[in-house]
Structure 1
Amino acid sequence: MKARDPSKARLVDIELDESIGRSTPDIEHERAVAIFDLLEENSFQPADDAASGPYRLKLSLVDSRLVLAVSREDGREVITHILSLTPFRRIVKDYFMICESYYEAIRSSTPSKIEAIDMGRRGLHNEGSQTLKDRLAGKIEIDFDTSRRLFTLICVLHWRG
């Protein structure tokens, strides 16, 4: 069996379920930045795929579960994973509460208060990212930066779901 090409173990396209619709400018900005950053640099390899990518990923919510539909660049299906969102509920709820405080602080608070809120926001984001990485272990191999950007997208899906 030939070795996988690590340069191809990546995402080249992300599609969010069309039912997501539009959101607030702050959320739309977070989504656009996460997708851009994710496509610029990521490490993504389905564990059971003997071949290498690159891959396309469609994220959606079905019955309060996250659906990750992975296909090849040419559209051929590779695998679909369905994850319960239960382990993310508290983190996502807390993350959105602190994001609201952060966006409010940007408009009216001192730099030190903004920095303190941002540290808390990043901490929650890291916790959610690690939870996602752990939940995908053995299914899809991703690095922490890829997990961070995917967690941002999960938050957008959850918010609209």
Structure 2
Amino acid sequence: MAEKERGPNRLVAVSLDEASIARGSPDQEHERAIALYDILEDNSFAIPGREGPYALTLGLVENKLSFAITTAEGEPVMTHLLSLTPFRRVIRDYEMICESYFAAIRTASPSQIEAIDMGRRGLHNEASDTLKQRLDGKVDLDHDTARRLFTLIFALHWKG
């Protein structure tokens, strides 16, 4: 199978600002690693009027979400700060449902796990839609890229 054609409007590197994160549980670290792998394998990320590819560092700066975007070679493109206020409820709810999900996969029936996972996916989609709206006009991204970015944004809120 041939490798998928990759255009310039994509991320070629994604990292989390080390000063902004705490280590998570093994389940959380696994989710983070999968999100990083998945986003680099397939993403759509564009800055209107500018051609990529890009590198992105996500972090927290004075209680704001920081998108530090550079060229693939490391030249600064822009840093965009987003208020976390629109994300607070969904992050809190997503944290609770993830705790339930990780507990359920050890003890619950498949139908119970599926019900919790449906709720988890619904919150994840809601957060992804909010992220796309908040970045509108600054960064264009598809739904799957927004979902993977939300997983990484959520990782910034894990308790150490």
Q: TM-score range by the shorter chain?
A: over 0.9
- Determine the structure 2 residue equivalent to 1:104: 103
Stretches of 4+ moved more than 2 A in 1? 158-161
Q: Hey, what's the Cα distance between the residues in 1 that align with 2:81 and 2:41?
A: 25
Distance 1:135 1:31 in 2: 22
Distance 1:24 1:153, change over 3 A: same
75-84 or 151-160, which moves further after superposition?
A: 151-160
Aligned residue in 1 for 2:7: 7
Counterparts of 2:83 and 2:125 in 1: how far apart (Å)? Answer: 19
Q: How many percent identity over aligned positions?
A: 60
Aligned partner of 2:3 in structure 1 is: none
Q: TM-score, normalised by structure 1?
A: 0.92
Give 1:144's aligned amino acid: H
Give the deviation of 1:64 after TM superposition: 1.0
Q: Counterparts of 1:139 and 1:60 in 2: how far apart (Å)? A: 17
Give, in whole Å, the separation in 2 of the partners of 1:76 and 1:51. 13
**Partner amino acid, structure 2, of 1:139:** K
Asked if the contact 2:22–2:156 (Cα under 8 Å) also holds between the matched residues in 1, the reply is: no
- Equivalence map 1:38-117=2 (5 Å): 38-47=39-48, 50-117=49-116
Deviates more, 1:137-146 or 1:16-25: 16-25
Deviations 1:101-136 (A, max 9, x none): 001110001111000000000000000000001100
SS in 2 for 1:7: coil
Quote the residue 1:119 is aligned against: 118
Name the aligned partner's letter for residue 106 of structure 1. Answer: I
3-state DSSP class of the match of 1:57?
A: strand
How many positions carry a matched residue from both structures?
A: 154
CA distance in 2, matches of 1:72, 1:148: 22
- Give the residue type in structure 1 aligned to 2:98: C
Find the aligned partners of 1:81 and 1:7 in 2 and give their Cα distance: 23
- Unaligned residue ranges in structure 2 (runs of 5+): 1-5
Alpha-carbon contact 2:13-2:55 (below 8 Å) kept: yes
- How large is the Cα RMSD of the aligned pairs? 1.3
Sort the Cα spacing of 1:30 and 1:93 in 2 relative to 1 into closer, same or farther, 3 A. same
How big is the shift at 1:63?
Answer: 1.3
- The gaps in structure 1 that reach 5 residues or longer are 1-5
Q: TM-score, normalised by structure 2?
A: 0.93
Deviates more, 1:18-27 or 1:140-149: 18-27
Q: Once the 2 structures are TM-superposed, how far is the Cα of residue 160 of structure 1 from its aligned partner? A: 4.7
